[in-house]
Structure 1
Amino acid sequence: MALPHLALPKSRHERETMAGDIAEDVARLAATRGVKLVLIGAHAANLYTGKPRSSKDVDFIADKPEALGELEGLKRELHDDVVRYVDENGHEVIDLLRPHPPLFKHVLSTTTQHGPFFVPSLEMMLGLKFFAMVNPRREWEDRNQDALDFTRIVRHNKTSLDRKAVAAIGELVYAGGADEMLGYVDDALAGRQIIL
């Protein structure tokens, strides 16, 4: 059986600018294979920041990441917390995160449709950024980028944020996380830099 064809970009610049096209292809393929994907990461944050940025890969939470199968032109790597697809140069193209943390399980059940994608709600997107910000396994540069995304999301959506929903999501990240997450919301609204 032939593998699905994806229009894979050749250069890093093309990878960044065409990642959305690849994401759409993957979302359509996932739907045919019964895999629920929720777009997360920079591409999902762009829906809420008012100041989109590029990213070298596309991130999803997947209910059954292995079920997507092989993809033409990409090598599949199976890890404990992610199924990763890389190009021939080893560059990450697609990450399918496994729904292990309680937050990720909740994301899968509370999404909305946006074009070909399921996407997190505004407050859930903040929760995902908060989860990344407080994750000690992430590089500090990435955590600081997450804090910047968090700040931009809060400031761009300051009139529509539901603080009760933010607090509930903070508790899904870790017990007591509501206070820290709401503190970061307050920092962002006050124009203060989030210090991790």
Structure 2
Amino acid sequence: MLTTEERNARIEAALKKCMPQVKNFSHDVGLPTRPVCHQRGIMTASQIVTGYREGHRKESLNVQPNEVVEVLERAGIKRWVLMGLYGYVGYLAMPRATQDVDILVDEDEIDAVIEAIVARWPTLQIDRQEVVVRFRDPGEIAITGEMMQVIDAMLPSNACYRAILDRHHRVDESTGHRIPVIEAACASKFAALVSPYREWERKQQDAVDLRSIMGPNAKTLEKALLQELGDLVYPDGGRELLEFLQLTIDKKPFPI
């Protein structure tokens, strides 16, 4: 197998042979580099998935994060944080889409959360697992024939998630959404990335997402808090999380 340097040299030679007048073959020049903010990010992500569902999943309930938050608040759920893509999308320079809304909730309120969600969307199928309750939409069928989850109610399965639920979150002024502070968003994505229970293919997206959060915000991230939260993922995890930050800055791959 070629080294990266060997491969790059061959690619550059092939490109120059094809178009010798070109000095920069990058397609990345001019792409956004600043985080978009939560309101704009969640609007963009929601519009993308809505367009997909309206065109290809017409039977889907098209559950949106704003609706889930509204359900939680109306039900009087006291402890919740919007997680997953919808929780950190505002920290990205280029928002993407997702098909499920992730919420972190307390164990003591999970039954009330289930009751509230089912009351709002009675056709959702409950898939209760040990650390997450998935709500699957019969109208959102994957090409494999499996019902897709559209809401994941996550339980605080590690000390990092517990800390996010307890204190390391903020309320976005524009939307009223409760979301992780940026260091907590990094730590939660890091937790997924290094988990021995995570599918390898999903780790690749985790790596892209973590890099996409850290990259535009590298200069403003609070390293002490990153280390504190990383240590809650596993002992001395904070040191590795800081190493991942440096790898992001240096534009080098993560060891996953």
Q: Which TM-score band (shorter chain)?
A: 0.7 to 0.9
Write the mapping of 1:1-196 to structure 2, written as runs, cut at 5 A. Answer: 13-14=52-53, 22-35=64-77, 36-63=79-106, 64-68=109-113, 69=115, 70=118, 71-88=121-138, 89=141, 90-109=147-166, 110-114=168-172, 115-196=175-256
Closer/same/farther in 2, CA of residues 41 and 77 from structure 1, 3 Å limit = same
**Cα displacement string for residues 58-84 of structure 1 (whole angstroms, at most 9, x for unaligned residues):** 111112222121232211221111111
Residue 195 of structure 1, CA deviation: 2.5
Offset, 1:43: 1.8
Instruction: Give the whole-Å Cα distance in 2 for the aligned partners of 1:111 and 1:11.
Output: 27
Shift of 1:136: 1.2
* 3-state SS of paired residue (1:150): helix
- The TM-score with structure 2 as length reference comes to 0.68
User: Highest CA radius of gyration, 1 or 2?
Assistant: 2
Query: Does the 8 Å CA contact 2:88/2:179 hold for their aligned counterparts?
Result: no
- CA offset digits 1:9-58 (Å, max 9, x no partner): x9992289999962111111111222232111122221111111111211
Q: Which runs of no fewer than 5 residues in structure 1 stay unpaired?
A: 1-9
RMSD after superposition: 2.4
3-state secondary structure, aligned to 2:82:
strand
TM-score (norm 1): 0.87
* CA distance in structure 2 between the partners assigned to 1:11 and 1:95 by the alignment: 18
Instruction: Tell whether the 8 Å contact from 2:214 to 2:248 is kept in structure 1 after alignment.
Output: yes
Displacement of 1:173 after TM fit?
Answer: 0.4
Unaligned segments of structure 2, at least 5 residues? 1-48, 142-146
User: Distance between the aligned counterparts of 2:89 and 2:151, measured in 1?
Assistant: 17
3-state SS of paired residue (1:83):
strand
- Does structure 2 retain, via aligned residues, the 8 Å contact 1:19–1:58? no
Give the Cα separation in 2 of the matches to 1:14 and 1:48: 25
Do the aligned partners of 2:160 and 2:232 also contact (CA within 8 Å) in 1? Answer: yes
Contact 2:53 2:62 in 1 (8 A): no
Distance 1:191 1:118, change over 3 A: same
Stretches (4+) displaced over 6 A: 15-20
